[in-house]
Amino acid sequence: METNGRSNTVLVAPTESTDTEINPWQSAAHRFDEAAELLGLEDGMRKVLRQPAMELTVNIPVVLDDGRIEVFTGYRVQHSIARGPAKGGIRFAPDVTLDEVRALAAWMTWKCAVVNIPFGGGKGGIICEPQLMSDGELERITRRYTAEILEFIGPERDVPAPDVNTNEQTMAWIMDTYSMHKRYTVTAVVTGKPLELGGSLGRPEATGRGCLFVTMQALKKLGMAINTTRVVIQGFGNVGGMAARLMSQQGFKIVCIVEYDGAVYNKHGLNIEALQKHKRDTGSIRGFPEGEDVDKDEALLMDCDVLIPAARENVITSSNADRVKAKILCEGANGPTTFVADAILADRGVFVIPDILANAGGVTVSYFEWVQDRQGYFWNERMVNERLEEIMVKSFDDVVGYAERHKVNNRIAAYMLALDRVAIAIRKRGLYA
């Protein structure tokens, strides 16, 4: 790796329109450019790494339950396969865009490189409203989408996984559709599957557990004690809910949970299991008898030690970054902080654990699942969790050590480290002509 003598450059937050700031592809591009410049990456390599290797758009005809035919648009983007098969989830949502899928695919490339697992980055999505669709309609749209991208996925080429509004059942449909076309069972084509179909123990908890491991490392780094650490978590689903439960068990004080419809606060710490039961029973965290309802936007800005945005993109922006009071920002979601907000947080001394490190527990255990499927030998949960902790702790040390050596913030250090690893792979392979 080489630097260009500019590692001490002070980077000022760019002035951008709101639309540009919250565009995930623009955010990914800005961070790439900043890291590539500080890394001294040659112009040709920048061109190779900046753009996705492949973008596929498919039109998916589906017969709905009432007999009507509807056509949905789907995407699959492979950003890089330099270090191994593309890896990344598939999301179903009405606001899926190609720019979003591009950005998420790129983030997956950098995420896999940061934790040093042999995958590249991919991502997929279908524009639909899954909450308005029956299970039968969801199965048909999933299977037809799989058939349309069949030639572009596979254990050695591109390995999908669950994401927003998809789950282990969705992965089972993909695996079955792929296997029917291949005429034999191919469990390693997807990860995040049911245990009965080759899934891995520890996978549902993996992203939240990874957030726990890196947060504990940050506390050690900053000399903070777990039992006095106040945590605010945005999101109470698979990532945020799991992080809340695991951190509470370790002695963290979870003072606030934030959801799309409100937030609940208790200065002494919330009973996470009771809150999860309350949400199951009522459909909301609001009205929890052991806490008080507070404004969801203000909750992100309350005085706390750790803030974990674990729900969606663009929640910390230029409009509120200067009011974030957390000492540590651990990004459980993909892209929760805009590139404009980065410099504001850095200027205020917030210790950021960037998304491509903080939430990499999920893809790490997905890698374990892929390995187990290919071996036909499955690990116990203790082994999964121990190996996850080993990778997350080492990756945290790699990123923070890189930041200190090159005098950059943790996010740019993570990007520089990832770009360097992918660039090394490309240089060693050479360019086929």
Select which of 111, 123, 296, 327 is catalytic. 123
Would you list the DSSP string of 243-302?
Answer: HHHHHHHHT-EEEEEEETTEEEE-TT---HHHHHHHHHHHSSSTT-TTSEEE-HHHHTTS
Specify the pLDDT at position 17.
55
10 CB neighbour count, 10 Å cutoff: 8
Q: Which residues pair with 133 in a beta bridge?
A: none
**Percent of the chain beyond pLDDT 90?**
91
- Establish if 73 belongs to a structural domain: yes
Within this chain, do residues 269 and 169 fall inside the same structural domain, yes or no?
A: no
Rg (CA), the chain: 21
What are the Cα distances from residue 15, in Å, to 20, 26, 410? 10, 13, 22
Task: Judge if 179 and 236 occupy the same domain.
Answer: no
Per the structure, the complete domain to which residue 58 belongs is given by 52-186
Write the CA distances from 398 to 12, 34, 113, 394, 406, integer angstroms.
25, 19, 11, 6, 12
* b/e map 157-170, b = 16+ CB within 10 Å: bbbbbbbbbbebeb
3-state secondary structure of 23: coil
* Banded pLDDT at 10 (limits 50, 70, 90): very low
Same domain, 226 and 302: yes
CATH number at residue 153: 3.40.50.10860
pTM for the structure as a whole: 0.92
| Domain match, 176 and 241 both | no
pLDDT at 70 over 70: yes
What is the tens place of the pLDDT at every residue in 88-137? 999 999 999 999 999 999 999 999 999 999 999 999 999 999 999 999 99
Same domain, 260 and 322: yes
What is the maximal distance between C-alpha atoms in the chain? 66
Residues 215 and 140 in one domain: no
pLDDT tens per residue, range 179-205: 999 999 999 999 999 999 999 999 999
Q: What are 71's two structure tokens?
A: 């056509």
User: Does residue 262 lie in a domain region?
Assistant: yes
218 to each of 57, 306, 350, 351, 408, how far by Cα in Å? 41, 10, 12, 8, 17
Q: Give the number of domains in the chain.
A: 2
Q: Catalytic: 123?
A: yes
Between these two residues, 350 and 13, which has the higher pLDDT value?
350
Say whether both 142 and 241 belong to one domain. Answer: no
The residue type at 281: D
